[in-house]
Amino acid sequence: MQPDISVKNLNKVYAGGFQALKNVNLDIERGEIFALLGPNGAGKTTLISIICGIVNLSSGTVEAAGHDIVRDYRAARSSIGLVPQELNTDAFETVWDAVSFSRGLFGKAPNPAHIEKVLKDLSLWDKRDNRIMALSGGMKRRVMIAKALSHEPRILFLDEPTAGVDVELRRDMWEMVRGLRNNGVTIILTTHYIEEAEEMADRIGVIRQGEIILVEDKDQLMAKLGKKELRLLLQQPLESLPGELALEPLALSEDGYELIYTFDAQQEQAGVARLLRQLGDLGIEYRDLQTRESSLEDIFVGLVHE
């Protein structure tokens, strides 16, 4: 199947000479939730802005919904809804007017029933006649999402949608994103909250200094790069690791009370059994043990600091 977004050899050099994107290649499949992760200034917003038509590309090609974003910009842009990172809203317009404006701007005939549905889904219906300036930050964020959904896009970009948003709205948003995906909408989100990507995404891309350094199915990524950790709390502190254990991927805490054993999440558990047997043979007693699986956050931090 043709990807919904296809980025080929994309470069962006800003007027000052700063190269924000370096030969980016990326395909995003129809109907998936794709999370783009990366530290501040890595190029996430530049990439999104180019795809949406806000920033000009320097070289390369981008297709959205099968249309070249430069040559066939009308068709490409019509298929895209964008919720930008900054909370940029009108001030004096009512919620209803602002959302209806967006629909018209994207070339769609008025459809009050659709606008009503979007506003209701985002719990904005009661606020429809309020001026946007009178709304709270969270409500303004909802308005921006409503604007992006007003023209029924098949691709939705959410640039840091949950930055500075309370728990309730975040949960609502996740719910909404899942609902959209179930209706076949392709969703690309950038986020700093890695648990968000972990919870929502089908695939994850990591961008660092303008380069895509990894694109991977989330579960595979977790399995491949995820580490497991076993911590043993000892009855008596050890001064050093006994020689028999030195070969294992073992570490001893400073106070000598904890043994930390790290292993691949995919690897068979035989290593753990062997370790415990060895400890028994050596007469090292422990009073508790914990295992922990590394989160996407650990993986991410590991990747961007490589």
Partner 1 sequence: MNLHGVRAIYRFEMARMWRTLMQSVASPVISTSLYFVVFGSAIGSRMGDIDGISYGAFIIPGLVMLSLLMQSISNASFGIYMPKFSGTIYEVLSAPVSYVEVVLGYVGAAATKSVILGAIILLTARLFVDYHVLHPVWMVAFLVLTSITFSLFGFIIGIWADGFEKLQIVPLMIVTPLVFLGGTFYSIDMLPEIWQTVTLFNPVVYLISGFRWAFYGVSDIHVGISVGMTLVFMMACLTAIWWIFKTGYRLRT
Q: Which is nearer to partner 1, 46 or 230 (CB)?
A: 46
Q: Which amino acid is at 270?
A: A
- Tell me how far, at minimum, the Cβ of 7 lies from partner 1, in Å: 17
Give the list of residues 6+ apart from residue 35 with CB closer than 8 angstroms, or none: 188, 189, 190, 191, 196, 197, 200, 201, 203, 204, 205, 218
* Alpha-carbon distances, residue 29 vs 53, 68, 150, 155 (angstroms): 20, 16, 23, 10
- Tell me how far, at minimum, the Cβ of 56 lies from partner 1, in Å: 5
- Tell me how far, at minimum, the Cβ of 272 lies from partner 1, in Å: 52
Say if residues 255 and 158 touch (Cβ distance below 8 Å). no
Q: Which is nearer to partner 1, 65 or 279 (CB)?
A: 65
Stretch 25-54 residues interacting with partner 1 (CB under 8 A) = 52-54
Q: Does 90 bind partner 1 (CB under 8 A)?
A: yes
- Tell me how far, at minimum, the Cβ of 24 lies from partner 1, in Å: 17
- Tell me how far, at minimum, the Cβ of 54 lies from partner 1, in Å: 5
Q: Which is nearer to partner 1, 147 or 218 (CB)?
A: 147
Which positions from 271 to 290 touch partner 1 by CB under 8 A, shown as an x/- string?
--------------------
Stretch that binds partner 1, among 29-37, 108-116, 191-199, 214-222 (CB under 8 A): 108-116
Describe the strand order of the beta sheet including 258-264 as a list of residue ranges. 250-252, 258-264, 227-234, 286-293
Q: Which amino acid is at 276?
A: L
Describe the strand order of the beta sheet including 33-37 as a list of residue ranges. 80-83, 155-159, 186-190, 33-37, 203-208, 211-217
Stretch that binds partner 1, among 85-93, 188-196, 239-247, 280-288 (CB under 8 A): 85-93
- Tell me how far, at minimum, the Cβ of 161 lies from partner 1, in Å: 15
Applying CB under 8 A, the site for partner 1 has a residue count of 36
Stretch 243-262 residues interacting with partner 1 (CB under 8 A) = none
Q: What span, in angstroms and rounded, lies between the C-alpha atoms of 255 and 239?
A: 8
Q: Count helices and strands (H / E) in the chain.
A: 10, 14
66, 101, 226, 248: residue in contact with partner 1 (rule CB under 8 A): 101
Closest CA to 156 of 61, 35, 62: 35
Question: Which residue ranges make up the site for partner 1 (CB under 8 A)?
Answer: 14-15, 52-56, 73-78, 80, 82, 84, 86, 88-93, 97, 100-110, 147
